[in-house]
C-alpha cells in the first residue's frame, strides 16, 4: 500500500534548502512552542487536579458523605428508627446520629470559638475517618470519664481532689492555640443556658482532653471538637433528640443520587445534603480556577500557532515554482491544500508527542524534589494527579489549534495560478 504523495511532499517542504535555513528554524520554533504549551498545560492541570482531590479526601475524612436533618424542626427525635431505615437504602454503608453546636472553648492560655459535635464513638469510625486522623489518644476514650484533680466548686481555694470529667477531642491547631495537651482540662461555654432574673446565663462545663486529631485541613483542625453524644445531649438540654444523622455511601460521586433516594424513603419532612452541596463554594472556586488556568495556558499554544502560520506562509512563498509545477502536472487545489494542512498537523503532532512526556517529567520532578515541612504547610509534597480525559483535552486542543493555523497558508497555496508563478522562470 503506497502512501499519498501529499505526505512526502509536505515532509520535504518542512526542510529548507541549504541556501535558506530560515524555514527549518521556524519549523523547529513552531514545534518547540507547541511542546512548551502542551507541557505547561499538562503540568498545570495535573497540579490543579491533585490539589482538588487532596482537599476532597481531607474533607471526606472529616465530614460525612451525606447529612440528614429535619426540614421543619431543628432537632430530630426518632433518630434510632431513622438511622436503621437509612441503612437499608442501597449503597449506604453506615449511618450515625450527631449533635452540632457552636460554643466557646476556654483554657488558661486562651479562648476560641469552635464547632462542637456530639458523636457516638462506636459508630463514628464507620462513617468518617476521625479515628484514623487521631494522633494522640483514641476515639473510644470518649466513653470513659477521666479523673482530674480539681478544687470543690463551693471552695475554689480548697484542697484538690479527684473528680470525673467527660472527655473531649480537639483539633491539633485548636489545642496549640489554647495551649492544652492530652490530660488537660478545658471549659465549654454555651451561650444558651438557664434563664435567671438577670437574663439568660451561659452554661459552662469542664471537659478533659482525651485525644487530638489532625485532618490536614486547617479550618477543621482549628475549629472542631468532639464529645460523646449523650454528654452533648445533656449539656445542650436536648433530651433524646439530635441535630441530624451522618451517612457514608459506597460511591462518593453518587452521593447526590443516594441523598435523593434517602429523601424519598424518609418523606418530605426530612432533607438530605451531600458533601458536594455542603462544600459547593469551595469546589466551584477550584473548578473555576482550573478552567481559567487552562484557558490562559492555551494562549501559549495559540502564540505558537502564529509560528506555524509564518512558517507555512514562507514555504508557500519559496515553493511557488514547485507548487505551480505540481498543479501543471495535475495536482488539484484540494491536494495542494492538503499538503500544507498536513504540514501543520505534523508540527502539532510532533509538539504534542514531545510535550506530553515532558509535562509528566515536569510533574515528577516537582513531586519528587519540591518538598515541604508538613507541620507548616500541611502537605509534604505537591499533590499531583493527571486524568486521562485531561491529557486528551490538552492534546486535542493543541492539534486543533495547529490545524486551524494552516487554513490561511493552505488556501493561499491552493489559489496559486501555475501560469503566474512560471511566467518569469
Share of the chain above pLDDT 70, in %: 82
* Tally of residues, the chain: 425
pLDDT of 12 reads 63
Alpha-carbon gap, residue 322 to 328, rounded angstroms? 10
291 and 400 assigned to the same domain: yes
Please give the Cα distance from 340 to 355 (Å, whole number).
Answer: 22
Instruction: Over range 412-418, report the average pLDDT.
Output: 72
Is residue 190 a part of any domain in this protein?
yes
Q: Is the pLDDT of residue 212 over 90?
A: yes
Q: Are residues 124 and 54 in the same domain?
A: no
The verdict on 43 and 135 lying in the same domain is no
Name 167's bridge partners: 208
131 lies in the same domain as 230: yes
Is residue 327 in a domain?
A: yes
The answer to whether residue 28 is domain-embedded is: yes
Q: Is 404 contained in some domain?
A: yes
At 246 the pLDDT is: 92
175 or 57, greater pLDDT: 175
**What pLDDT does residue 1 have?**
43
For residue 229, pLDDT beyond 60: yes
Asked if residue 289 and residue 256 are part of one domain, the reply reads no
Range of the domain at 311: 5-58+283-422
Which of 242, 268, 294 is the C-terminal boundary of a domain? Answer: 268
pLDDT at 195 over 90: no
Statement to judge: residues 120 and 206 lie in one domain:
yes
Is 128 within 8 Å of 169 (Cβ atoms)? no
d(CA 74, CA 259): 19
Does position 22 have pLDDT exceeding 70, yes or no?
A: no
Number of structural domains in the chain: 2
Residue 360 has pLDDT above 80, yes or no: yes
Task: Give the per-residue pLDDT at 301.
Answer: 76
Q: Are residues 170 and 233 in the same domain?
A: yes
pLDDT reading at 403 higher than 90: no
Q: Quick one: 193 and 296 in the same domain?
A: no
Whether 245 has a pLDDT exceeding 60, the answer reads yes
Question: Residue 164: pLDDT above 90?
Answer: no
pLDDT at 169 over 50: yes
pLDDT at 221 over 90: no
Looking at the chain, the whole-number percentage of residues with pLDDT higher than 90 is: 9
Asked which of 16-25, 228-237, 240-249, 374-383 is least confident by mean pLDDT, the reply is 16-25
Does residue 119 sit in the same domain as residue 16?
A: no
For 19-28, 112-121, 229-238, which range has the lowest pLDDT when averaged over its residues?
A: 19-28
Confidence of residue 99 (pLDDT cuts 50, 70, 90): very high
40 and 82, same domain (yes or no)? no
Give the pLDDT band (50/70/90) at residue 2: very low
Position 38 in a domain: yes
In this structure, are 184 and 93 located in the same domain?
yes
pTM above threshold 0.75: no
What is the pLDDT, as a whole number, of residue 6?
62
Residue 254 lies in a domain: yes
For 76, phi then psi, to 5°, come to -120, 125
Residue 344 belongs to a domain:
yes
Residue 277 lies in a domain: no
Same domain, 330 and 189: no
Q: Which of 217, 245, 268 is the last residue of a domain?
A: 268
Around 40, how many Cα atoms within 13 Å sit in the side-chain half-sphere?
A: 17
Average pLDDT, rounded, for the chain:
81
Amino acid at each position: 500500500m503506497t502512501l499519498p504523495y501529499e505526505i512526502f511532499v509536505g515532509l520535504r517542504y518542512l526542510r529548507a534548502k541549504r541556501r535558506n535555513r530560515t524555514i527549518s528554524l521556524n519549523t523547529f520554533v513552531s514545534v518547540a512552542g507547541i511542546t512548551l504549551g502542551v507541557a505547561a498545560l499538562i503540568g498545570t492541570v495535573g497540579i490543579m487536579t491533585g490539589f482538588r482531590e487532596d482537599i476532597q479526601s481531607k474533607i471526606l475524612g472529616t465530614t460525612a458523605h451525606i447529612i440528614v436533618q429535619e426540614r421543619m424542626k431543628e432537632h430530630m427525635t426518632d433518630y434510632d428508627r431513622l438511622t436503621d431505615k437509612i441503612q437499608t437504602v442501597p449503597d449506604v454503608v453506615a449511618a450515625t446520629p450527631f449533635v452540632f453546636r457552636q460554643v466557646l472553648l476556654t483554657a488558661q492560655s486562651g479562648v476560641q470559638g469552635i464547632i462542637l459535635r456530639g458523636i457516638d464513638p462506636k459508630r463514628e469510625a464507620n462513617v468518617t475517618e476521625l479515628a484514623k486522623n487521631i494522633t494522640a489518644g483514641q476515639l473510644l476514650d470518649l466513653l470513659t470519664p477521666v479523673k482530674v484533680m480539681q478544687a470543690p466548686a463551693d471552695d475554689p481555694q480548697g484542697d484538690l481532689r479527684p473528680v470525673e470529667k467527660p472527655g473531649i477531642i480537639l483539633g491539633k491547631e485548636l489545642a496549640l492555640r489554647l495551649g492544652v495537651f492530652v490530660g488537660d482540662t478545658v471549659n465549654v461555654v454555651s451561650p444558651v443556658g438557664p434563664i435567671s432574673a438577670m437574663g439568660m446565663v451561659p452554661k459552662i462545663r469542664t471537659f478533659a482532653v482525651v485525644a487530638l486529631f489532625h485532618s490536614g485541613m486547617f479550618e477543621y483542625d482549628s475549629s472542631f471538637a468532639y464529645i460523646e453524644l449523650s454528654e452533648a445531649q445533656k449539656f445542650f438540654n436536648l433530651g433524646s433528640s439530635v441535630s441530624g444523622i451522618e451517612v457514608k455511601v459506597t460511591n462518593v460521586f453518587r452521593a447526590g443520587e443516594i441523598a435523593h433516594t434517602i429523601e424519598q424513603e424518609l418523606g418530605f419532612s426530612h432533607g438530605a445534603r451531600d458533601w458536594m452541596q455542603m462544600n459547593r463554594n469551595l469546589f466551584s472556586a477550584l473548578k473555576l480556577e482550573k478552567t481559567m488556568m487552562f484557558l490562559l495556558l492555551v494562549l501559549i499554544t495559540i502564540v505558537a500557532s502564529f509560528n506555524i502560520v509564518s512558517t507555512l506562509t514562507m514555504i508557500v512563498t519559496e515553493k511557488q515554482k514547485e507548487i505551480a509545477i505540481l498543479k501543471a502536472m495535475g495536482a488539484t487545489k484540494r491536494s495542494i491544500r492538503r499538503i500544507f494542512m498536513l504540514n501543520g498537523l505534523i508540527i502539532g503532532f510532533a509538539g504534542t508527542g514531545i510535550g506530553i512526556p515532558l509535562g509528566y517529567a515536569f510533574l515528577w520532578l516537582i513531586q519528587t524534589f519540591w518538598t515541604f515541612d508538613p507541620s507548616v504547610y500541611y502537605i509534604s509534597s505537591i499533590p499531583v494527579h493527571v486524568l486521562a480525559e485531561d491529557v486528551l483535552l490538552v492534546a486535542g486542543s493543541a492539534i486543533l489549534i495547529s490545524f486551524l493555523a494552516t487554513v490561511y497558508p493552505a488556501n493561499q497555496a491552493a489559489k496559486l495560478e501555475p501560469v503566474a508563478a512560471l511566467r518569469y522562470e
